[in-house]
Structure 1
Amino acid sequence: MILEASLYILFGLIALVWSADRFISGAASIALNSGMSKLTIGLTIVAFGTSAPEIIVSMFAALDGSGGIAVGNALGSNITNIGLVLGATALIAAIPISRKVLIGELPVLFAVSLLAGFVLYDRQVDWYDSVLLFAGLGWFLFYLYRKQVNASPEEDTDEDEVDSLTGLSTSKAWMNFVIGLVVLLISAKFLVDGAVTIARVFEVPELIIGLTIVALGTSLPELAASVASALRGHHEIAFGNIIGSNIFNLLVVMAVPGLISPQPLDPSVFVRDYATMLGLTCLLAALMAFDYRRGKPFGKVAGSILLTAYVAYNVVLYIQL
């Protein structure tokens, strides 16, 4: 049973990363070939697509009654994105800090994080909380739209990202889209089933599995995208991928269990996991502001601090088992 569950998780992780890329590129190419603007594609398909693994995994977890995995996936992915993904990216290539990101996207992430705290404070994500989170999503999409409309051409990094995802013929785009979606659904189901089995066999809380194994797996696309962006010199995309993904995780992924299967949450979700996520967000902001004031890029020192915080959090999870 343990071997089978481990193989389920391994297959789920590998297939999840592969299928997410196919799904996004197929959907973006279909939209572009149908006449949709790159702006709209960037705001909708690319934005939602990068969080597709988290969304679908949380959906299956909620349907299975595993609310801990669903919520743990959202918070754990954000912790992993900041601590591991940004930390590792900064170690590989120093990332220049944009004032636009520092005073624009980062405060939005902080505001959304506070909204998530308000939702989690009563230890349950119910239907009303989900509606509130989706209302926040509507506001965020409007904010993105206004920002893109008012942006100068040289600031339009979203179109560069769309260009890297499109260019397929319509037939190949549909093939990528369908295959990507099918494999995405199957791999998410395998990942959730394997994670639930491991949790039950070893008597590990499902919340911990969601915060660690599942969160790490669903954050692999962000890790690959951020490292590749930094190495290519697309520095704003490296930061933008993480900040945007974290916002969508809180507004969409965390809302899924409330719509499908509201369940009481362990008290540690708020006092330990949410607090860690908020603390890492504040730490990221402080490190970015400090380096920006010194005129230095976000480099190895900042990356090492974030990675150390990520490792320390996982050690705490292990100790508390």
Structure 2
Amino acid sequence: MLYSALALIFGLGLLVWSADRFIDGAAATARNMGMSPLLIGMTIISIGTSAPEILVSAIASMEGNPGLAIGNALGSNIANIGLVLGITALIAPLPINMKLMKKEIPLLLGVTLIAGAVLLDGNLSLMDAFILVTCLVLSLLWMFKGDGEGEFDHPEDIPEMNGKKAWFWLVIGLVLLVASSRILVWGAVNIAQHFGVSDLVIGLTIVAIGTSLPELAASVASALKNHHEIALGNVVGSNIFNLLAVLPVPGFFAATAVEGEVMSRDFPVMAGLTFLLAALIILMRKKGRISRGEGGLLTAIYAGYLYVIYLAAV
């Protein structure tokens, strides 16, 4: 327990530091390559911060804990919207990108419906996994199409780095993000298992929060640096990756039974938050930003969800 607690503390500290270095490296690299903040958020940051989820899901599936893997994917999406976007909006209201609303948000809604259809029969098979991965390839092509033409909203806020230094901090930051996430999750899972919590609950809560901390750290850091498109694009991109790259992982190892609570409680909450985010973007488009009020609403919903999980576990 002592080592697990130390892992939690050390992992969190390293996570926050490495997220800041990664954002600087990613933004400087984007500037040097002429890429838009949205493209950086939807690709480099999304892939990098989704790596812990993929790693944890693969390890859990190989060790015979597919419930943890499924809970990780769905729980991370719930945490990304309720916790990451909620807290980020509380810290710094997020401007609404019309391009995001017209393109990536509909894509996320469609991916959410496809994931629900795949899980509806209560089983995650190899065919289901291939369907989701095929959708991932198509989604990547869709996200890349035309995104390279954007401009930085606040170029003066992007650190001045030469190519080698920018790539150094991008790579080092990414490696430390993955490593620190793994350390933190290892400690959290050991603590949770010590108290006899189920694999699904561990995946939905401890692991989901732990592996979503890179998104939280990166989004808060980018919001404080006024890289607002990176923050919102990061969450949307990460949620797409979670459903299409993390969720299918158990299906590649063995046909996996989906616990009843997933479709009666967890998936509806995830889908509800996803559609709520889309609704908030539409309703707030004239205002031009997701403000602290909306951030408080998302955070409150997430806190309520955790309370429901707690009541079901005790």
For the superposition of Structure 1 and Structure 2, which TM-score range results when normalised by the shorter chain?
0.7 to 0.9
Encode CA deviations 1:42-64: one digit per residue, 9 max, x unaligned: 47544421211111121211122
Specify the alignment match of 2:129 in structure 1. Answer: 130
Contact 1:54 1:218 in 2 (8 A): yes
When residues 53 and 16 of structure 1 are mapped into structure 2, their CA distance, relative to the original with a 3 A threshold, is farther
Encode CA deviations 1:60-95: one digit per residue, 9 max, x unaligned: 111221111111111111111100111111111112
Specify the alignment match of 2:53 in structure 1. Answer: 54
When residues 243 and 126 of structure 1 are mapped into structure 2, their CA distance, relative to the original with a 3 A threshold, is same
**TM-score normalised by length of structure 2:** 0.82
Matched, 1:298 2:290: yes
Matched, 1:233 2:232: no
1-structure distance, mates of 2:280, 2:169: 43
When residues 114 and 312 of structure 1 are mapped into structure 2, their CA distance, relative to the original with a 3 A threshold, is same
Q: Which runs of 5+ in 2 are unaligned?
A: none
Which sits farther off after the overlay, 62-71 or 11-20? 11-20
How many residue pairs get aligned? The number is 308
Specify the alignment match of 1:319 in structure 2. Answer: 311
Matched, 1:245 2:244: no
**TM-score normalised by length of structure 1:** 0.81
Q: In the alignment, which of 234, 257, 269 is matched to residue 264 of structure 1?
A: 257
Q: In the alignment, which of 261, 281, 289 is matched to residue 288 of structure 1?
A: 281
Matched, 1:307 2:299: yes
Encode CA deviations 1:111-145: one digit per residue, 9 max, x unaligned: 01111111211223221111111111111111122
When residues 88 and 196 of structure 1 are mapped into structure 2, their CA distance, relative to the original with a 3 A threshold, is closer
Specify the alignment match of 1:169 in structure 2. Answer: 164
When residues 290 and 56 of structure 1 are mapped into structure 2, their CA distance, relative to the original with a 3 A threshold, is same
Deviation at 1:200, TM superposition (A): 3.7
Q: Which runs of 5+ in 1 are unaligned?
A: none
| 1:280 partner SS | helix
When residues 265 and 271 of structure 1 are mapped into structure 2, their CA distance, relative to the original with a 3 A threshold, is same
1-structure distance, mates of 2:218, 2:170: 19
Deviation at 1:290, TM superposition (A): 1.5
Matched, 1:101 2:100: yes
Deviation at 1:18, TM superposition (A): 6.1
Deviation at 1:225, TM superposition (A): 1.8
| 1:90 partner SS | helix
Deviation at 1:214, TM superposition (A): 1.0
1-structure distance, mates of 2:68, 2:178: 16
Matched, 1:279 2:278: no
Deviation at 1:10, TM superposition (A): 4.5
What do you get for the CA RMSD once the two structures are aligned?
A: 3.4
When residues 289 and 27 of structure 1 are mapped into structure 2, their CA distance, relative to the original with a 3 A threshold, is closer
Contact 1:98 1:236 in 2 (8 A): yes
1-structure distance, mates of 2:119, 2:160: 35
Contact 1:89 1:226 in 2 (8 A): yes
